[in-house]
A and B are shown apart, each in its own frame.
Chain A
Amino acid sequence: MTTQSDPPKQAFRLSQLIYDTRYRSLTIQTVAMILLAVGLFWLVNNTVQNLQALGKDFNFGFLGERAGYDINQRLVEYSSNSTHGRAALVGILNTLLVAFLGCILATVLGIIAGVLRLSNNWLVAKLMAVYVEGFRNVPLLLWIIAIFAVMTESMPQPREFRGETPTASMMLNDSVAVTNRGVYVPRIAFTNSLTGNEAVASRDGLTPVASGGIDWLLILVVLGASLFGIRAVRRWASAQQEATGIRPVTWYMQLGLLVVPTGIVLLILGATVVNPYLKGFNFTDGIHLRNSLIALWLALSLYTGAFIAEIVRGGILAINKGQTEASYALGLRPGRTMNLVILPQALRVIIPPLISQYLNLTKNSSLAIAVGYMDVRSTLGGITINQTGRELEGMLLLGGFYLVLSLAISTVMNIYNSSVKLKER
């Protein structure tokens, strides 16, 4: 090698690719790239050759074929005459349902447990510690199966509700039935339903009442408008406070905005509560929360909630004690200190790991296999694959679905994160 001060004009030599720092990184990257490409090529080629050897082709036409099997929990219209694609959709909705319910309950449990674990009350703090450590350190699958087994084995059968002297009875004024096939709760139906659909089952002597999707959509729209109005009232109150120094009393306006419009819509639609009742082998009418859903939902929530509790606790502990002291010095009570000073700052620390927990919960919902919950893994990734023999296509679709879902959750949560993170100006 020559000295740096006097670079001679030398022809490019191959050894420079390794020994010359100007080219070395390029060389390494090129080699890595080629290895990656070869690896990918090998995977694809291997797949193609093996598919050929098995005499199988690669197409997604099976999604349009008749499924032929029934699914117990359906959020959209589905029968055994529907297509495999429709079955996959039913499964997707079931996955979304349990993931959504799970995320909400896990967050509530997590925040409560996380805050209470920091309580000065020894008993409460220790109880929460037991909850967190108990659920965090035992595999999720065991909790799912345990809850499912308790529901199945120890709850009464529907037929025990029957007869002159039934051994089991419904709770809450004959509105909720807890059986070993799930929990039946009342549903809200509309006598003046916009859909005009007849309900499927009707008790003798009572007119059937439907609850259509359009009715619920209308209620949601009204509720959304109410919330919008409440925000306007709050903004107005804040503006008044800025201007005059006195915050006007608005709670009755907010309450009125929340309750009155929705109440009027419910009244017009003729909302009634329909209780489940025993008919034939099972309870009918009302909403049937199956054991599989309950077990999966509770186990996912309790398990993930334990992790969220630790995240919340960590977030709160990350806030300097000086903040609390300053808040006390201003005369804020402990409750308001937590809500107005600590939690808003802690959220910045809490949100990013919380996203991971939501993603975990969503993907863990595929453990539904243990209790026969008909999620997308059971329909598309289970029965459909089994009946059509399209393992590769089905698994690719399944992987793609979970990927898209996870990315969507991440995106939404990241947007929220950027709205609460420290604004630096």
Chain B
Amino acid sequence: MKKTLFLGALTVAGFASAASAATLDDVKARGNLNCGVTTGLTGFAAPDANGVWEGFDVGVCRAVAAAVFGDPTAVEFTPTTGQTRFTALASGEIDMLARNTTWTFSRDVDLKFEFTGINYYDGQGFMVPRGLGVSSAKDLDGATVCIQTGTTTELNLADFFRANNISYEPVPIETNAEAQQQYLAGACDVYTTDASGLAATRATFENPGDHVVLPEIISKEPLGPLVRHGDHEWGDIVRWSLNALIAAEELGVTSANIDELAKGTNNPEINRLLGTEGNLGEMLGLSADWALNAIKAGGNYGELFEKNIGENTPIGLARGLNAQWKDGGLLYSPPFR
């Protein structure tokens, strides 16, 4: 009997410690990074024709994997819905979440997550069929609105309609694909989500021109990757991998010239970033070329943006708020020092 109790106690201790162990050690032991993404939003995270995940959020996952392993393909992608994402992260099923997730006070403080930065400054918008003749969100009294449940947009929507004293009929849906189907079938008049998501969704329509995104942006939606609260070392790795991508663009480090620059330059910050000077990698518990690998994974922030969601893609998003601070945007990486 004593043995059973002892074994029981052992298991308890084992399980409890597993939950609080360093995520970096777990990831290294496993050999890959578990990254939570959307179930499919073109440009941000969606599998291509060969089943390989690609997109803007996927780029962040790959950069972190490259920083840790030197291999951008060492990522296991877990598709999550608006409702399942936080449980997946809190339970340890995924190591980080890069899924157009809005940084809010309650998610940071109450849900016990740590946002490691912002990779896209967004805001909630509305998309309607052009034929409806609606020019402002305030004309939407009585409209049927498709909305992804479990999101901040759901709360913003309720607040917006309440503040403007107009009514609406919410149609709760689970994924972006489902919303698209409902919207195109006309089961809802309006689809609302982050403006970037609307652009990405519209880009996949047969006739994107038949649909307009209304001018109102009704909220601030800073989207960024997040990790579990409490493991600051792991949080630092994700935070600075993202910062490395942003700083690389600012410093003019691209995937084209990075090998050249990695041989050493006259700019000490580039040298520190790429590991030829100082020991920033060691401080993170990673190799010296961690940032080099992260940037090489998919290019710097600007390259990722242009390749996945930029103006030359079907999604066609302008940099806008997401330009570097020098260009009038909000992107501003703390210095690598």
Contact = CB atoms under 8 A, between A and B. Distances in A.
A284 interface: yes
Contacts of A42: 8, 11-12
B155 A54 contact: no
A181 B173 contact: no
B71 interface: no
Interface in B8-45: 8, 11-12, 15-16, 19-20
Interface in B51-110: 82-83, 86-87, 90, 106-107, 110
Interface string B168-192: 1111111000000110011111000
B230 interface: yes
A69 B154 contact: yes
Given A152-B187, A282-B169, 16 more contacts: A49-B15, A50-B16, A53-B16, A54-B19, A69-B155, A70-B170, A72-B172, A181-B188, A280-B143, A281-B144, A284-B142, A291-B187, A369-B174, A389-B106, A389-B111, A391-B90
A385 B81 CA distance: 14
27 contacts: A31-B1, A34-B4, A38-B8, A42-B8, A42-B12, A50-B19, A53-B20, A68-B155, A68-B158, A69-B155, A70-B154, A70-B157, A70-B168, A80-B155, A159-B132, A159-B186, A279-B142, A282-B144, A378-B172, A383-B149, A385-B83, A386-B82, A386-B86, A386-B149, A387-B150, A387-B155, A389-B106
A153 B178 CA distance: 13
Interface in A135-194: 152-153, 157, 159, 180-181
B176 to A, nearest CB: 14
A45 interface: yes
A55 B15 contact: no
A180 B90 contact: no
4 tightest CB-CB pairs across the interface, nearest first? A386-B150, A80-B158, A389-B111, A49-B16
B112 interface: yes
A64 interface: no
A23 interface: no
B162 interface: yes
Nearest to B85: A386
Given A49-B12, A80-B162, A180-B186, A55 B112 contact: yes
Interface residues of B, number: 52
B229 interface: yes
A80 B112 CA distance: 24
Interface residues of A, number: 47
Contact of B185 (A49, A53, A153): A153
Contacts of B150: 382-383, 386-387
B162 to A, nearest CB: 6
A336 interface: no
A251 interface: no
Given A72-B171, A383-B150, A386-B82, A280 B15 contact: no
A281 B20 contact: no
Contacts of B236: none
A35 interface: yes
A119 B83 CA distance: 49
Nearest to A50: B19
Interface string A375-387: 0001000110111
B142 A68 contact: no
Contacts of B19: 49-50, 53-54
Interface in A52-81: 53-56, 68-72, 79-81
A46 interface: yes
B144 to A, nearest CB: 6
A389 B110 contact: yes
A291 B150 CA distance: 21
B173 A372 contact: yes
B8 A152 contact: no
